[in-house]
Each structure stands twice: as C-alpha cells, then as structure tokens.
Structure 1
Amino acid sequence: MPTTELQRINSFLTAFARRQAVRVVDVQGGFAVYDDVFAHSHANNQVVIDTAVDPGALPAIAEEALAHLPHRLVSVLDDEVGMACAEPMTRAGYTHSTYLVMLHTGPVPAGGAAEEVGLDALRAPHTLRWQGLLPDVDDEVVRHLVERREVRHRGADVVRFVGARTEEGEVASWADLYLEPATGIAQIEELITAEAQLGRGYADAVLTTALRMAADKGCGTRFLTADAADWPRHWYERRGFSVIGRSHCFERS
C-alpha cells in the first residue's frame, strides 16, 4: 500500500509542477519548469526528475536548463535515483536536502478553527514572515515568494488557502491545500505561523481544518512533505502523519 500511495503522490506532484508552470521543457529524466514573472522563486523555476536519469549527467542537464537563472534547483522524486545523484551533484557544488513524504494515517480530526482566506489577507503576514526567515534578501525576492501563490490555482483542480485568525482578525497561521477530488488526493503545503504567534495553537487549527476540508472532498490520500533534518516532521508525526517515502533536492546559488 505505501508504494502504491507513493506512486500516486509522485504523479500528483509531477502534474502539479507541470500545470502550474508557464513553460515546460522536457529534459533527460524529467522536465524543467519556468515562470519568468516569479524568476526569484526557485520552486517555479527548477528541474524535476521523475524517472531514471544518468546521475553523472545531471549537473550538466541542470546547467543547460537553468543557465539563464542565478540559482539552480533540482528536485528528484524517487529516493533511489536521488541517492544515486547525491555524489555527482554535491561534487558539482550543490547542497543536498532530503524531504519526507508523509501520509496522514491517523483519524481525521473533527471541525477546525481555521477558514479559507484570500491572498489579500495573507500578503502582509506572509511578507513579514519571509523577511524574518530571509533577512539578507532584497524586497523583490520577498515579493516573488509571496505573490507566487496567485499562480498555484493552476496546479490542481481545487486550491484553497487556509488561515487561522487572532481575536483581532489577523491571520496568524496559514497553509495551502491542493485537492484533486477525482483521484482522492490532497496535499497540505507551506504551513507557516507568524513569529509573534508561535506556540499558541494556530498551526494546529490550520492543519485540522485542512485535513477536514480534504476529507469532506473525498480525498482519502492526504499528504505533505517535510524536511528530514528539521523538527516539524516530529510535530506532524504526533498529528497522525507517517513517513512513506523520500525525495531529494539539490540547490546551488
């Protein structure tokens, strides 16, 4: 079952990347996606490897596909392929990160104190959070990281932004929810909490609401990805998520 679920999830991730992109170019082992409007967004301008590839050729593939950009990002969806690519990519100057594919296997929680919110409500808190996370980048980079959300509606049949508000009405925590009711798959992506609101249960409210929204749409496969080296993976495990696979990212400035 995990293998079947992982294959379905990887197919969803592949389709989302292709559908969201303005331009797609096939490369050996996968494809490159581009969006010049958000050129500073690595996720919108990257190489995605979703089949077998010659590991030794991957640095050259990435260089050719992304030569016009100041960054390089290569996402390898298959764990075995990603591990084989690690040595030649790190030798070429890339930083290697491993991400966990986590499937929600616990019971779907009832209710949820968050709600669907619009981009306008997210813009200010999201900008402030990115400025805190990336204090050395300029305003144009932050703007791209915030505004790229507007094109995520192209990636899936249903895209919602879920937010939990303070008593004053400000959005304290938020996440994306991508739904494909026809295939029963839902992804929760980029769960973030405003720094001043950490530890107050707002992220729990967002996660609970997103899971309930997904279940109400008939999505039995509910997943997210988490950095294997960072603490949120344990937070997700305590909330009913289990690791079913790994993917790999290679980045270079």
Structure 2
Amino acid sequence: MTSPASDSELPRVRGFLSAFHRRQAARTIDFPGGFAVFDDAYALSRTNNHVLVDGTLDETDAEALPGLADELQGSLPYRHAYVLDEEVAAACREPMERAGYRHSTSLVMCHRGPVPAHGGAREVDLDVLREPATASWRRFAPQAGPEHVRDLVERRTARARGAEVVRFLAAYSAGGEVAAWVDLYLDPAAGIAQIDDLVTAEPHLGQGHAGAVLDTALSLAATAGCTTRFLTARPTDWPHRWYDRKGFEVVGSVSRFERT
C-alpha cells in the first residue's frame, strides 16, 4: 500500500536513482524521456547495462520503447529496461509485453521508524567482500557462469562513483568471518540515502547480522543528515515484510522489463 507521504518522497527517490545510474555508468546515450547506460567492464551485469526511463508521459514514447531498447542494446545478449514513474510504466507495459518483455516491479520503501543505534558493522572495501559475495551469487544464481558471477561481484567498483558518498558495510561473526553486508549510498547535500544489496552469508543466516548492518546504515545515513532513507525490495520476496518490521513503508514502485 502506498503511503500518503509518497507525493513528497518519490520525486526525490526517483531523482536519486536516475543520478546514481548515470554517474556509475562508463558511458551513456540520452533519448527523449531517458537514457541508456553501458559499462563494458561488466557486460553481463544488467544493472550496469540497461535503458532507464525517468521522464514523464509527455516526454516518453511508450510505443517506441521496445524498438529503442533493441537499437540501443543491440550488442548485448539481453534487453533490460527500468521505468521509474508508475504512470509511464503502465503506458509502456503493453507495447513491451507485445515485444516479448517480462514485467516485474520493485517496491520503493522509505524509513519512517525511529533511527536505530549504530549496529556495530564496519566499513570495508571490495577485497573484503569479494569471497563472500562470490559465494552468495553462486547460491542466488546457480545458472550463472564464472564470467557472469565475476561481473556481479566486481561491479561494486562502479558503484563507488554512483553517489557523493558510497560505503560498503559488513558485520562479522564471532569467529571473524564476514556474516552480512550492505551498500550505503549518500547524498548529504540533498539529504537522501539509499540502502542497497543487503545480503547475509548462508552459514550465518538467522543470527541477527542483517539487522546489524541495516541499523548501522540507517544510523550513518541519519548522522549524515539524510532524512530520506530508502531501499527497494521485490514484492514477492519475504525481505520486504522484514523491512516493514524495521520501520520502512512502501511509497511506490519501480518497473523492470526484461527479455533474454
């Protein structure tokens, strides 16, 4: 259910997402109502190579989007597009599905609860996360080959340029292993922060480590002056219900169109 606060929050969230995708890209191609992003260093990562529609209905030609996506992504083995505005996504859905695209959504959830105390997670770099992240992707995407997994892991390097401040946080087990981790993207001047890619290593599930990294991210974001703190979650997966218990509320959604 969409919160009444969505009218004020969603434009800020959409603006942040649009800017993040543009900033992390190695190259971009603009078109009316949006742009395409590419990074040949991570060619198998769809979040680094896609079309993003961030315009209004007046700016977006929904009927032309399938052909445009084909033209822009012609060298890729997949087609992938994000549409940030819900009304634009509704207009795009029929022409995209006629062209063979599968539609799905991610919920946009903003933190409305009290800011928790620092959870004790530490800031780390990609070298620390490489091994546990590789193991997690082999669990989540067993069909992905070694090159695909490599792109999914190493793309964090590109994320480091996506926002004014980017932090990778990790919680450790009593035995000193990385147990859970999360990305935190901050724009302190705009007062907005995104929490992304929260993962718990399989041997450490159910031990509170995810809560530790989430609490740390929320605490750091609030300390940086970010009053808008958001994340995205699949509506069909259980984590969004856990986020709800952690003080997040649904304020809207982002659409995804995929074809392989």
Does structure 1 residue 240 correspond to structure 2 residue 247?
A: yes
C-alpha distance in 2, partners of 1:155/1:136? 28
> Over aligned residues, Cα RMSD in angstroms?
0.9
C-alpha distance in 1, partners of 2:206/2:31? 44
1:7 aligned partner: 11
Could you list the per-position Cα deviations for residues 159-213 of structure 1 after superposition, in whole angstroms to 9, with x for gaps in the alignment?
0001111112111111100000000000000111111211111100110000001
SS in 1 for 2:169: strand
Moved more, 84-93 or 105-114: 84-93
How many Å apart are 1:113 and its aligned residue? Answer: 2.3
Please, which of 232, 237, 257 is the counterpart of residue 250 of structure 1?
257
SS in 2 for 1:82: helix
Does structure 1 residue 54 correspond to structure 2 residue 58?
A: no
Please, which of 73, 76, 94 is the counterpart of residue 69 of structure 1?
76
How many Å apart are 1:54 and its aligned residue? Answer: 2.1
Please, which of 129, 138, 151 is the counterpart of residue 158 of structure 2?
151
Could you list the per-position Cα deviations for residues 128-166 of structure 1 after superposition, in whole angstroms to 9, with x for gaps in the alignment?
010111112210100000000011111101000011111
Does structure 1 residue 182 correspond to structure 2 residue 182?
A: no
Could you list the per-position Cα deviations for residues 195-250 of structure 1 after superposition, in whole angstroms to 9, with x for gaps in the alignment?
12111111001100000010111111100011122111111001000011111000
Kept in 2: contact 1:98–1:229 (CA 8 A):
no
Moved more, 173-182 or 2-11: 2-11
C-alpha distance in 1, partners of 2:31/2:197? 27
C-alpha distance in 2, partners of 1:4/1:65? 33
Does structure 1 residue 163 correspond to structure 2 residue 176?
A: no
C-alpha distance in 2, partners of 1:144/1:115? 24
Gaps of 5+ in 2: none
C-alpha distance in 1, partners of 2:213/2:227? 18
How many Å apart are 1:4 and its aligned residue? Answer: 1.9
Gaps of 5+ in 1: none
Please, which of 91, 97, 117 is the counterpart of residue 84 of structure 1?
91
C-alpha distance in 1, partners of 2:133/2:219? 24
How many Å apart are 1:99 and its aligned residue? Answer: 0.9
Consecutive aligned runs of 4 or more in structure 1 exceeding 2 Å deviation: none
Moved more, 83-92 or 186-195: 83-92
1:33 aligned partner: 37
Question: Paired residues, what number?
Answer: 253
2:117 aligned partner: 110
1:206 aligned partner: 213
Does structure 1 residue 101 correspond to structure 2 residue 104?
A: no
Task: Output the TM-score relative to the length of structure 2.
Answer: 0.95
C-alpha distance in 1, partners of 2:126/2:167? 10
C-alpha distance in 1, partners of 2:32/2:225? 36
1:10-21 aligned at under 5 Å gives the runs 10-21=14-25
C-alpha distance in 1, partners of 2:174/2:143? 32
C-alpha distance in 1, partners of 2:6/2:86? 14
Task: Output the TM-score relative to the length of structure 1.
Answer: 0.98
Moved more, 77-86 or 206-215: 77-86
Task: In structure 2, give the amino acid aligned to 1:94.
Answer: Y
Please, which of 199, 220, 226 is the counterpart of residue 227 of structure 2?
220
SS in 2 for 1:55: coil
